[in-house]
Structure 1
Amino acid sequence: MGTGRGGAVGRWVSGGRADVWLAAGSAAVAAVLGLFVEDGRPPDAAGWALLLSAQVPLVWRRRHPMAALLAVVSCVAPYHALDYTHSAAVPVGMIALYTVAVTGGARRTLLTGTAVVGIMLVVNALVSPHQLAEVLRISGWIVSVLLFGGYTRVHREMAAAALDRAERAERTREEEARRRVAEERLRIARDLHDLLAHSITLIGVQTSVAAHVLAADPGRLDRAAVAKALDDIAGTCRSARGELRTTLEVLRDPGAPETRGPLPGLHGLPGLADTARAAGASVALTVRHGEVPPAIGAAAYRIVQEALTNAVRHGGRDGLDVRVSVHDDGGALRVTVTDDGAGAGSGAPGFGLVGMRERARSVGGTLEAGPRPGEGFEVTAVLPMGENR
């Protein structure tokens, strides 16, 4: 706010300095006209006092336009009434009238012009009725100056409004850009979480399987089981590395064409189920659906992926039973993942449930997750397809 006050003071000082020069210039013009133009008697000491005094109010014309006009009229009116050189007093009067018109509204301009012209006509009728034609000519100039001032004011207001609209549009664009950046950061965070959490969980489980096989009976080592566990670990690492690489390529060059390939979808659910089975869970997968938009399929895939990851991580026992159901439900895709383990709430809090809810909301859906009666955990998502087809 201090900067704003400083700027206003600076503009006022600059405008006041300009008005001082304007008053000095107007006084010089009035002096030249008073000396060399003969449309009245030459000013004497009183005439020069009135003429030069009329220039002084121009110094505060910006701050107090009506007061400046009244002060000018109080000097100019007796100057004209005494029949001094009339042209010499015209510039200062026109400047004062223009200031009133350019700083006020149309109503004030109209009332001011009517009052000034009316006073001129009355004074002329009482003092010098033979100069009616000259008074009418001056009245025309007064009307012209007031119209020009009003036009300038309207033009300035329109320019200020256009500038304000442009500034608001720029702010809107900046806010939209910030919103898009935030959404993209959130999407990337969800992708990385889904990818890394799923892969690391499976690697941990598969490593535990390999360690268990090695330690169970060293004398009768099941090489095939160890080899399978290690192959599963290698496959999970390759898959995670591929997805992570494409995600990082997008981050390094946001302007590059999309290179991540098609979005994961419902066709990938059997692979998720197989991966969970390799980690020791018993997975029953039921998928019944018609045409599903890509965005809905991708959201369903990620929700099932995270739900299976949580089930394997927090199940708490071997032989975990997981049931995955994906089917049409009155214009929406219903995704249900249930298990009979200890439940996701048994571990440290993380971002999995938050990410699943955000996945559902991103396509206009809802997600509920919580413990089942007795034991186990259930995740249910309803993803509407009507607006995404």
Structure 2
Amino acid sequence: MSVSAEKPGDRGLWPGGLALIAVATLALAARRRHPVAVLVICVAAPPLYYPMGYPDGPVVLVLWVALFTAAVECRLAVSLGAVIVVNAGFLGAAVIDGDGGGDAQAIVDARGVASLSMGLLLTVALGQYVRSRRDRAEAAERRAAEAERDREAEARRRATAERLRIARELHDVLAHQISLINVQAGAALHRRDDADRADADRAYAALEAIKSASKDTLRELRGVLGVLRQADAEDPAGAVPSPSLDRVGVLLEQAAAAGLTVRRAGDLARPPGGSPGD
């Protein structure tokens, strides 16, 4: 260093010492956004401060804070480089002071540099520990977010599959009911031209059956559409069970009401292991 080293306390803080401390301290406000720039300022402060003979003050504490932030926010090489630069500056001051015939109480001696180095390295180690903890926490949060996205995607996939299944059932239900309406309407038209009163009554009965079947179709359509709107709910309102063999008797009654002759042969037993909707 080009300045002559003086003993601590040989000079008062005002104005140069306070100016250095103020600049280094104010720079800490930007240490999160610009950790490297703040570290450079704080590293330059002690080698300028102590050789001028200013008393011990917070300038080294400012350096430790900046170094800790750099160890947390930057690569390890940045903080280690700062430690090397600080030690080199103090060693240079010690050499210059020794060449000038300073005594054992000079500003910087070998033991002081060693103690400073240990403190700086411990600060770097603490910053790296905090950095590793933060990185692990962020990685865990990312994994949790990815798992949540996977669960949501799986839920959407299952909901889509359920909607497709319901759509197929809706097609089957409507095809059944509309076919029945078509048969009943044909029977009613066939009876319309008959003069016999009994045939006319049967035609009216067929029309009543058409009305009933159309109402059933609309009811089942509303129920299935309600399920489609609430496919993500555990117990959707308005759900209507899909037709099963249990409703064959109702189907036969509807056909007979239309004036058709319907016969049932055999027992429509449910297959072994079958569910009510089979």
TM-score (normalised: structure 2): 0.63
The CA distance in 2 between the partners of 1:180 and 1:137, in whole Å, is 64
C-alpha spacing 1:107/1:250, structure 2 compared with 1 (3 Å): same
> Shift of residue 112 of structure 1?
2.8
Counterpart of 2:191? 213
* CA-to-aligned-CA distance 1:23-60 (integer Å, 9 cap, x gap): xxxxxxxxxxxxxxx96545354434433343343243
* CA-to-aligned-CA distance 1:244-301 (integer Å, 9 cap, x gap): 69758967995349x977x7689999x99xx99x999xxxxxxxxx99987xx96xxx
C-alpha spacing 1:111/1:252, structure 2 compared with 1 (3 Å): closer
1:169 and 2:147 matched: yes
1:64 and 2:43 matched: no
Matches within 5 A, 1:252-263: 254-256=233-235
C-alpha spacing 1:109/1:268, structure 2 compared with 1 (3 Å): farther
The CA distance in 2 between the partners of 1:53 and 1:220, in whole Å, is 112
> Shift of residue 233 of structure 1?
5.4
* CA-to-aligned-CA distance 1:212-232 (integer Å, 9 cap, x gap): 1332x4259657975996797
Counterpart of 2:128? 150
1:43 and 2:12 matched: yes
Counterpart of 2:267? none
The CA distance in 2 between the partners of 1:169 and 1:113, in whole Å, is 42
Q: Once superposed, what is the RMSD of the aligned Cα atoms?
A: 4.6
C-alpha spacing 1:53/1:236, structure 2 compared with 1 (3 Å): closer
Matches within 5 A, 1:101-140: 101-127=71-97, 130=104, 131-140=109-118
The CA distance in 2 between the partners of 1:235 and 1:96, in whole Å, is 83
* CA-to-aligned-CA distance 1:71-94 (integer Å, 9 cap, x gap): 223332122223432344211111
> Shift of residue 202 of structure 1?
2.0
Give structure 1 stretches of 5+ with no counterpart.
1-37, 281-289, 299-389
Identity %: 36
Q: Answer yes or no: is the 8 Å Cα contact 1:94–1:145 preserved in 2.
A: yes
> Shift of residue 183 of structure 1?
3.9
DSSP 3-state at the match of 1:58: helix
Letter in 2 for 1:213: R
* CA-to-aligned-CA distance 1:83-141 (integer Å, 9 cap, x gap): 43234421111122122212102232333333333443343343358422222122111
DSSP 3-state at the match of 2:234: coil
The CA distance in 1 between the partners of 2:72 and 2:157, in whole Å, is 42
Counterpart of 2:173? 195
C-alpha spacing 1:224/1:97, structure 2 compared with 1 (3 Å): same
Q: Answer yes or no: is the 8 Å Cα contact 1:39–1:87 preserved in 2.
A: no
Give structure 2 stretches of 5+ with no counterpart.
1-6, 261-270
**Higher CA-based Rg:** 2
> Shift of residue 201 of structure 1?
2.9
Q: Answer yes or no: is the 8 Å Cα contact 1:103–1:153 preserved in 2.
A: yes
C-alpha spacing 1:174/1:249, structure 2 compared with 1 (3 Å): closer
* CA-to-aligned-CA distance 1:294-339 (integer Å, 9 cap, x gap): 7xx96xxxxxxxxxxxxxxxxxxxxxxxxxxxxxxxxxxxxxxxxx
Letter in 2 for 1:105: R
The CA distance in 2 between the partners of 1:155 and 1:239, in whole Å, is 64
Higher relative contact order (CA 8 A, sep 6+): 2
Q: Answer yes or no: is the 8 Å Cα contact 1:199–1:236 preserved in 2.
A: yes
Letter in 2 for 1:116: V
